[in-house]
Structure 1
Amino acid sequence: MIRQVNKGSHNQLKVVDIGINTHQEPVIYMREDCHICRSEGFTSSSRITVSSSTLSIVASLNVVDNHVLEQGYVGLSKVAMQRLKPDLNEMVTVGHADVVSSLTALRKKVFGNTLNYTELQAIITDISEHLYSDIEISSFLTVCAGGRLLPDEIIDLTKAMVNAGKSLRWPKYDQVLDKHCIGGIPGNRTTPLVVSIVSAAGHIMPKTSSRAITSPAGTADTMETLTEVNLDLSAIQRVVQETGACLCWGGAVNLSPADDLLIRIERALDLDGEGQLIASVLSKKIAAGSTHTIIDIPVGDTAKVRNRESAERLANLFTKVGAACGIHVRCIITDGSKPIGSGIGPVEEARDLLAIFKRQQDASQELRERALLLASHLLDLAENCGLASGLERATSILESGKAYEQFKRILSAQGGGKSLPSSRFQHVQPSSKSGTIVAIDNRKLARLAKLAGAPFTPVSGLRLHSNVGDSVTSQTPLFTLFSDSQGELEYAMSYYNDNTDIFSISGRLQ
């Protein structure tokens, strides 16, 4: 939170950019013999208010050896410098951070109690205003995971996350459509296809997407390899006015801002709790002004949702929370037993999209069919036309090239198209057995792509050459692994060599 500075304080030090990337958590660095540390009783991990001449932030303290900083100086991490915006050598004032009262509600949840809307709103507001440390955010996510949020708490959490940020409104339109996949299936990059098909059919679909949480790529990561995704609110409105749709990153426009802070910690924890998942998805839909949305819930042994019973429970929660928050939700339970597309990782998934749009013979038919299924549900939801009619129309739009033309209009409106880059290093991995692939471990396959560098290095990832049901020999390539560094490529292959059960093949060793 930006606050007015207490100019009467005398606890002042000169700023130095210490050049340390602490991601999104502001950190300050003070000498162990600093007179302010001693007089105020600061220790490592203390929460400190740092005030420049115009702005104020809350940061976590790291105490460093005396030789690291000159006497009279305080070091700021990169994100602390970005938020405080001080001049180098500017005098800043440091002091104790105010008590964050919502931590009382957090502790209440730790001990198994139910939180009301006021308490959840206080937590989300304080997280949005950067008053929580990463440890405290981790605690909140952990106590909300594992089914610990009741339906009413999920509803209140969703509303609190919407109210903490900005919202888009589309008063000219009675229906604003959206879609989301809860993830867990490598290569399931249907969103750009669905958005292009449905908006080419004349519907409004302002799609704001997240970056990857636990996967090798999110829709925003993939779209960023093709065009600009960091659009502000006015740019989103302009693009939608011009094309009827957009495909951008929601984190750039402060829609449900707490969600992006939570996602950052979820990624580090490799955690995606049920209640937080629902609140995260629906808060962004509501903040984007959506009135109707479909939710794709893939089910499989190594998917995020493992069985039909869990999928139906999740679908019921999505529908209930959506209705309570004023958005019409339809959940589609789909096959999550194997990877969908052939490309895994931002650039490789973009290649899959372009192959389908261009109607290439080597395009992934499973990804194409999944996108058409979801598009038909959206058309039915919007027009009550029936799934068969919706599927026929969606297929016609894709096969005629209208969807590709619409996709290119969206790319142009968002800043123009980009050429896809290539990785510097790659490795083709053949099968070790002859037989039939009977299963692929989605989680381990996704981890393999991440270890190669995805999504942080967009060219990194892998391309599947064989999927479940295919017959292979010892000469058949299973996949090509891509990386932008030799070290990451070797690191990923070391993981594969320790986990050759990623591909389950019926047959004898060669």
Structure 2
Amino acid sequence: MNALAAHLPDAAGLIARRAGILTYQSPVVYMRVDCEICRSEGFEAQTRVEIEWKGRTVIATVHHVAADWLGHGEAGLSEPAWRVLGLSGGEMLAIRHPPVLESERHIRGKTYGASLDYEKLKTIMHDVAAGRLSDLHLASFVTATAGGRMSHEETVALTRAMIDVGERLHWPFSPVMDKHCVGGLPGNRTTPLVVAIVTACGLVMPKTSSRAITSPAGTADTMETLAPVNLDLQAMRRVVEKVGGCIVWGGSVQLSPADDVLIRVSRPLDLDGTAQLVASVLSKKAAAGSERVLIDIPVGPTAKVRSEEAADELGGLLEHVGEAVGLQLRVVRTDGTQPVGRGVGPALEARDVLAVLQRDSAAPADLRERALLLAGHLLEIGGKAGPGAGYALAQQALDSGQAWTQFVAICEAQGGLRQPPVAPHVRPYLAGAAGVVTAVDNRKLAMVAKLAGAPGAPAAGITLEVKLGDRIARGQPLFHVHAQTTGELEYAQAYANRQQGLVTIEEIA
């Protein structure tokens, strides 16, 4: 028994070794299958253990190793665990059973139909943010609260709990503007345009955005091809104070950290319940110090929100919870029947954004119009334009070049404007018949872009060549696939060739 363990009768000691394994947000500890501590403490595979070094602790999941790369007396740590503990290698770690968590009992109760009040939800969210709950418990919570199992009161309490376990920004000016799109629509990259227009008109908009988890691009992924987005809170404040707005990755400023963990678990389960969506969106808006918020709900058969009835339910809940947490909210519905713009993928969407800002004659008109509509609403609720006059003011800011000048200023303040990359491999997907485009499948087109490498390869994705109502000839390109490697290009093309209804064409008699 080593000296540290001798002074910690409730803990066993192993020497820290960096495993160099990326496990996203899940801390993992690798221990030999023949480890004496594992046998004596009952640390089976998938057991949760608490690891401590110099007062820092992390809850990690045990994975057993049956190979000799890990020595006797060593504990291999994944990158998330290594970062939390701040190790350099060779430290003696105290490893013990974690304390029994009250939040596990609350999750179990919800599974059996019990309601959750603010205090219980705050306990759960605190443990979620601290990484104390296993993925099994997280999945149980996500499942138990999906499918309409959360009341309006519980949704308000969940939103407040998410806000209260993270950082909350406070700005020295008012009003602070924000926007969010509930998603499900490829290419809908309006945020950089809206931020540029709204801040060019004198409003303040410190925008934190997400990276893609299951989509071909998030706003942060797209913006990162144009300027740095990994700004900490101090850097973000400096940018906003200098130019009135920013577009940064929310993960770098740690707002509503419990939500980031829940998203990681809920997306693979394909459980995006209304209550969790509302709590996710509004907790981050409140945490960012926003006061007046525009919510965009695209509605379409292959969008996230597929019917007017679903939009009614979601919009009503957003307004109810927004009012409860002190946000002035406006909800708008937009067309979700087809992708927006031409590009789907970080760099391709960035090129569309630049084309609109630079008033290029070939810029996608639908992206421009959607951005003007949303910016107009924000200018109205921000007090810069009267009712119905926001669109015209937004159009003036864009067409005069003010929005482009402001966007350049934002990029320079964040670290410098750069040109988005170009993929080395491009291949067309051709129409099999002549006719009129009557439908497109947002989800399947997004999958083609992802299989081509987006967002991991920023230049990858697809460019759409047709819109609903277009008349096309047999052999005409419907879209082009962009990839960094020939393998990804072939993979995406093979998927597209197997699908029915990617782009539906009604043949001309």
TM-score category of the 2 structures, normalised to the smaller one:
over 0.9
Q: Is the 8 A contact 2:176 2:290 kept in 1?
A: yes
Q: Is the 8 A contact 2:125 2:161 kept in 1?
A: yes
CA separation of 1:262/1:7 partners in 2, compared to 1, >3 Å: closer, same or farther? farther
CA separation of 1:384/1:84 partners in 2, compared to 1, >3 Å: closer, same or farther? closer
2:268 aligns to what? 268
Q: Is the 8 A contact 1:187 1:343 kept in 2?
A: yes
Q: CA deviation at 1:357?
A: 0.5
Q: Is the 8 A contact 1:300 1:336 kept in 2?
A: yes
CA distance in 1, matches of 2:285, 2:40: 49
1:111 aligns to what? 112
2:427 aligns to what? 427
CA distance in 2, matches of 1:122, 1:481: 47
% identical aligned pairs: 48
Q: Secondary structure at the match of 2:29?
A: strand
Q: Is the 8 A contact 2:186 2:446 kept in 1?
A: yes
1:82 aligns to what? 83
CA distance in 2, matches of 1:217, 1:333: 22
2:48 aligns to what? 47
Q: CA deviation at 1:7?
A: 5.3
CA distance in 2, matches of 1:90, 1:174: 49
TM-score, length basis structure 1: 0.96
1:32 aligns with 2:33: yes
Q: Secondary structure at the match of 1:396?
A: helix
User: Deviation per CA, 1:466-494, whole angstroms, max 9, x where unpaired?
Assistant: 11111111231111111212222222112
Q: Is the 8 A contact 1:189 1:349 kept in 2?
A: yes
CA distance in 1, matches of 2:90, 2:25: 23
Letter in 2 for 1:272: D
1:488 aligns to what? 488
Q: Is the 8 A contact 2:436 2:508 kept in 1?
A: no
Q: Which moved more, 1:74-83 or 1:281-290?
A: 74-83
Q: Secondary structure at the match of 1:102?
A: helix
Q: Structure 1 regions of 5+ residues with no counterpart?
A: none
CA distance in 1, matches of 2:379, 2:424: 42
Q: Secondary structure at the match of 1:459?
A: coil
1:378 aligns to what? 378
Letter in 2 for 1:447: M
Q: CA deviation at 1:182?
A: 0.4
CA distance in 2, matches of 1:344, 1:424: 16
1:311 aligns to what? 311
CA separation of 1:198/1:96 partners in 2, compared to 1, >3 Å: closer, same or farther? same
Q: Is the 8 A contact 1:346 1:459 kept in 2?
A: yes
CA distance in 1, matches of 2:224, 2:271: 24
CA distance in 1, matches of 2:370, 2:67: 59
Q: Is the 8 A contact 1:176 1:203 kept in 2?
A: yes
1:14 aligns to what? 15
Q: CA deviation at 1:135?
A: 2.3
Letter in 1 for 2:114: N
Q: CA deviation at 1:89?
A: 2.4
CA distance in 2, matches of 1:355, 1:236: 26
Q: Is the 8 A contact 1:213 1:266 kept in 2?
A: no
1:278 aligns to what? 278
Letter in 1 for 2:138: I
1:321 aligns to what? 321
Letter in 2 for 1:59: A
1:449 aligns to what? 449
1:158 aligns to what? 159
CA distance in 2, matches of 1:66, 1:507: 60
1:415 aligns to what? 415
Q: Which moved more, 1:119-128 or 1:416-425?
A: 416-425
Please give the residue correspondences for 1:333-412 in structure 2 after superposition, counting only pairs within 5 Å: 333-383=333-383, 385-412=385-412
Q: Which moved more, 1:5-14 or 1:45-54?
A: 5-14
Q: Secondary structure at the match of 1:501?
A: coil
Q: Is the 8 A contact 2:294 2:332 kept in 1?
A: yes
CA distance in 2, matches of 1:457, 1:39: 46
1:100 aligns to what? 101
Q: CA deviation at 1:201?
A: 0.6
2:182 aligns to what? 182
Letter in 2 for 1:133: S
Q: CA deviation at 1:456?
A: 2.0
CA separation of 1:424/1:7 partners in 2, compared to 1, >3 Å: closer, same or farther? farther
Q: Secondary structure at the match of 2:170?
A: coil
CA separation of 1:283/1:473 partners in 2, compared to 1, >3 Å: closer, same or farther? same
CA distance in 1, matches of 2:416, 2:472: 41
Q: Which moved more, 1:53-62 or 1:460-469?
A: 53-62
Q: Structure 2 regions of 5+ residues with no counterpart?
A: none
1:214 aligns to what? 214
Q: Secondary structure at the match of 2:330?
A: strand
CA distance in 2, matches of 1:397, 1:371: 12
Q: Secondary structure at the match of 1:359?
A: coil
CA distance in 2, matches of 1:237, 1:387: 31
Q: Secondary structure at the match of 1:255?
A: coil
Q: CA deviation at 1:352?
A: 0.3
CA separation of 1:421/1:385 partners in 2, compared to 1, >3 Å: closer, same or farther? closer
CA distance in 2, matches of 1:330, 1:445: 30
Q: Which moved more, 1:343-352 or 1:109-118?
A: 109-118
2:128 aligns to what? 127
User: Deviation per CA, 1:186-225, whole angstroms, max 9, x where unpaired?
Assistant: 1111111111111111111111111123321111111111
Q: State the aligned residue count.
A: 504
2:146 aligns to what? 145
1:244 aligns to what? 244
CA distance in 2, matches of 1:109, 1:317: 21
Letter in 1 for 2:382: A
CA distance in 1, matches of 2:268, 2:230: 23
User: Deviation per CA, 1:132-160, whole angstroms, max 9, x where unpaired?
Assistant: 12222222222222222111111111111
Q: Is the 8 A contact 2:298 2:335 kept in 1?
A: yes
Q: Secondary structure at the match of 2:501?
A: helix
CA distance in 1, matches of 2:249, 2:120: 29
Q: Which moved more, 1:241-250 or 1:77-86?
A: 77-86
Q: CA deviation at 1:385?
A: 3.6
TM-score, length basis structure 2: 0.96
Q: CA deviation at 1:52?
A: 2.2
Q: CA deviation at 1:74?
A: 1.5
CA distance in 1, matches of 2:57, 2:365: 53
Q: CA deviation at 1:463?
A: 0.6
2:72 aligns to what? 71
User: Deviation per CA, 1:62-87, whole angstroms, max 9, x where unpaired?
Assistant: 11215342222111112222222223
